[in-house]
Amino acid sequence: MKEYDHKKIEKKWQDTWEKKGIYHAQDKSKKPKYYALIEFPYPSGDGLHVGHPRPYIGMDVISRKRRLQGFNVLYPIGWDAFGLPTENYAIKTGKDPRVVTKKNSDTFRRQIKSLGISFDWSREVNTTDPKYYKWTQWIFLQFFKKGLAYKAKMKINWCPKDKIGLANEEVVDGKCERCGTVVEQREKEQWMLAITKYAERLDKDLDGVDYLPQIKLGQRNWIGRKEGAEIEFDNIKIFTTRPDTIFGVTFVAIAGDTDRFTGRYVTNPATKEKIPVWEAQYVMGDVGTGAIMGVPADDERDKAFAEKYKLPIIENYPKAGFEDYGKKVTRFKLRDWVFSRQRYWGEPIPVIHCESCGIVPVPEKDLPVELPKVKNYQPTDSGESPLANIAKWVNVKCPKCKGPAKRETDTMPNWAGSSWYYLRYADPKNNKEFASQKNLKYFTPVDWYNGGNEHTTLHLLYSRFWHKFLFDQGLVPTNEPYMKRTSHGMILGEGGVKMSKSLGNVINPDDIVKIYGADTLRLYEMFIGPFDQSAAWSTESIIGSRRFLERVWNLQYKVEKNKKYTEFKIEKTIKKVTEDIETMKFNTAISALMIFINDLGGVDSVSKDVYKKFLQILSPFAPHMTEELWTILGEKKSINLSAWPTFDENLIKDEEIKIVVQVNGKVRAFMSVQAGDSEEYIKAEVLKKADILKYIEGKNVKKIIYVPNRLINIVL
């Protein structure tokens, strides 16, 4: 009996797949396309830990199934490599971020390839590659030309110790994330993108996409669409969702750093009385119009303010009709996107400042504006980007008047490159445009996009905004970038705590692959728990996944080529795995595979047909071992080129049994179960039935009695 040697098998097939380009998507194909996408990783210096591959494996299972179902699958990979961690490392060590990025991405690539993920590596992109960010800059210029990229003076987060401007995500509890210094507010001109012009569409178009409900809710809450009225108190416009409370207004408050009376009075259009205008700290300048009507009888904050400053409170005031004083308007909480960073490691913003001509876009023929190499990555005393110190790079001729001018020294945020990367995958080697219209028309939109919960609001919103803008310019064929969006839970360290270097609980996938094999790691990560929920890693439990694969391996010695196809239970397993993969219930799909192998434990032989079908439905989870066994069975073509097995509904129906459902001994309903369903499963399912819930809701269930294949009785 030949031993299951994962090291030999996995290396053999990874080399074969790469050599044959078996996972390369074809730009031209008679097959229907399927575009599966993950959020491309940030290549950190620490390399992968076992939590990182979970989403890659999950979408890989779906991609592999789609290939067997006859699709031309695009499942690409790249690197989101600009950003703070690499820059901070460069500041600390003096090492060039380019060198650091290459080293980190090389490590990530090696680790990911060792897991047998079916990425199309021929389409690999890197946001820090000038050939890539040339097109990020080009898209920015399209925003600029349409008036959607502009400069505005605004307050920024400033770290007085590091002498640097910070993005909101770099401020934790009012302190600099890097050094812990209390952050100050400074006024500075910043580049902005006018995402608010797309607020209505960003909200409304969520109706037409298949996103998880919580993802849509997160998007809508951030956009913050509200219908209400705009009421003028002399020259102060106020947006309110409660115009009916106008008779209770006793003051107007505008946003301010301190609470103070302005000395001004305005007329309440309902009562015609003069009311004072105050500045109030609790009024947000970036919400609504930055002014509110104070109704102390109906609002707790207004009441507290009125009591503190002895302002009138009108109880039992008459309610006004909407049409009497309000102009109906729609407002959004969404604010324009702050798009510049005073950093080195980002895409240079491709504009030039000329005293005569103003802000002039860099001519498209001169793109990309490449980041110059520098010796010092330290921020400047003035808070400008380190680029501001490179006089040779900064001082240029104006493209319009040829007079002396200066380059923009702010760089783009790391959100920029990730807002459109999925489009570049369609045509990554194109030097003439960000992607050809032909390829975009074939591959987009993305059919299924999975990513982390932390990116389902801002990244998704920004990306949808860029896509809609490009659609309006006739540069992409669809209004939305992603048709389906799902999320995954994290893999935690042993005991349920987050994996981190400081806790010393980080587990390197290299170690697991070496000891147990990539297929074991893949299977375990999909079996560890519901895919959309966090789960704690257990090195002890991974042994169960390895033993299961060994049982599948050893089953080859029970195969009889001439045995007739009699094991009809494979039909039920095929149905279960087929359906569970589509709903990302990977753990229950694997459970069904394990149950099937257990059922075969006592048989003397198994038919080749049954074993082949089993290998096909296992292959998305354990591609290396199933490919090897497929070959051992005498198949000449790769299992990846075979067809996903179908199932016979008639055979499954033969296994369906109708049982009686009783409540306190009285027949209340009937329920269909499958022969072989566990007692625990049936007991759990009966409590979900709508026609049973009405009898037990609000009552205490003492026990549930199950008579196999006959009845179930709920005792209250």
Looking at every residue in the chain, the average pLDDT score rounds to 92
pLDDT at 277: 97
pLDDT at 566: 55
Give the DSSP letter string of 430-473.
-SSSSS-HHHHHHHPSBSEEEEEGGGTTHHHHHHHHHHHHHHHT
Amino acid sitting at position 634: G
What's the pLDDT band for 80 if we cut at 50, 70, 90? very high
28 annotated to bind ligand:
no
Element (H, E) at 153: strand 149-159
Please name which of 384, 456, 428 lies closest in space to residue 216, comparing C-alpha atoms.
Answer: 456
- pLDDT score of 588 more than 90: yes
pLDDT at 322: 64
pLDDT at 653: 65
- Starting at the earlier edge strand, list the strands of the sheet with 711-715: 666-674, 656-663, 711-715, 703-707
Dist. CA 45–CA 26, nearest whole Å: 33
pLDDT at 375: 81
Task: Convert the pLDDT of each residue in 609-643 to its tens digit.
Answer: 999 999 999 999 999 999 999 999 999 999 999 99
CATH: 1.10.510.10, 1.10.730.10, 1.20.1050.10, 3.10.20.740. Which one for 517-524+534-649?
1.10.730.10
Name residue, tokens 């010695």: 557
Superfamily of domain 6-128+415-461+481-492: HUPs (3.40.50.620)
Task: Convert the pLDDT of each residue in 191-217 to its tens digit.
Answer: 999 999 999 999 999 999 999 999 999
Q: What percent of the chain has pLDDT over 90?
A: 69
Dist. CA 132–CA 47, nearest whole Å: 23
Task: Convert the pLDDT of each residue in 507-564 to its tens digit.
Answer: 999 999 999 999 999 999 999 999 999 999 998 899 999 999 999 999 999 998 777 6
Task: Convert the pLDDT of each residue in 465-487 to its tens digit.
Answer: 999 999 999 999 999 999 999 99
Name residue, tokens 């919960």: 453
Amino acid sitting at position 658: K
**CA dihedral sign, ordered 657, 662, 667, 670:** negative
**97-113 and 84-93 helices, crossing angle to 10°:** 130
Burial class of residue 522 (count of CB atoms within 10 Å of its CB; 0-12, 13-18, 19+): buried
Q: What is the mean pLDDT of residues 454-463?
A: 90
Q: Which is more confidently placed, 159 or 106?
A: 106
Residues contacting 110, CB < 8 A, separation 6+: none
Residues contacting 29, CB < 8 A, separation 6+: 72
pLDDT at 92: 86
Helix segments in 224-333, DSSP class H: 300-308, 322-325
Dist. CA 144–CA 26, nearest whole Å: 35
What's the pLDDT band for 358 if we cut at 50, 70, 90? very high
Measured at the alpha carbon of residue 258, what is the angle toward residues 254 and 263, in degrees to the nearest 5?
60
- pLDDT score of 182 more than 90: yes
Helix segments in 126-227, DSSP class H: 130-145, 199-204, 213-223
The 8-class DSSP code of residue 158 comes to: E
Please name which of 689, 688, 655 lies closest in space to residue 673, comparing C-alpha atoms.
Answer: 655
The SS3 of residue 50 is: coil
Residues contacting 305, CB < 8 A, separation 6+: 251, 253, 259, 278, 280, 282, 294, 296, 311
Amino acid sitting at position 310: K
Residues 170, 212 contacting (CB under 8 angstroms): no
Residues 209, 485 contacting (CB under 8 angstroms): yes
Q: What percent of the chain has pLDDT over 70?
A: 97
The radius of gyration computed from the CA coordinates of the chain, to the nearest angstrom, equals: 31
- pLDDT score of 285 more than 90: no
pLDDT at 603: 79
**CA dihedral sign, ordered 533, 534, 538, 539:** positive
pLDDT at 440: 98
Length of the chain: 716
pTM for the whole structure: 0.86
pLDDT at 514: 97
Dist. CA 43–CA 559, nearest whole Å: 45
Residues contacting 643, CB < 8 A, separation 6+: 68, 69, 70
State the CB neighbour count (10 A cutoff) for residue 508. Answer: 14
Task: Convert the pLDDT of each residue in 388-408 to its tens digit.
Answer: 989 999 999 999 999 999 999
Measured at the alpha carbon of residue 695, what is the angle toward residues 691 and 700, in degrees to the nearest 5?
130
pLDDT winner (highest mean) among 93-97, 275-279, 650-654: 275-279
pLDDT at 501: 78
Picking from 160-174, 228-242, 403-417, which range would have the lowest pLDDT averaged per residue?
160-174
CATH of domain 655-715: 3.10.20.590
- pLDDT score of 133 more than 90: yes
Domain boundaries, the chain: 6-128+415-461+481-492, 225-332, 517-524+534-649, 655-715
- pLDDT score of 368 more than 90: yes
Instruction: Tell which CATH architecture fits domain 225-332.
Output: Alpha-Beta Complex (3.90)
Q: What is the mean pLDDT of residues 71-92?
A: 92
- pLDDT score of 178 more than 80: no
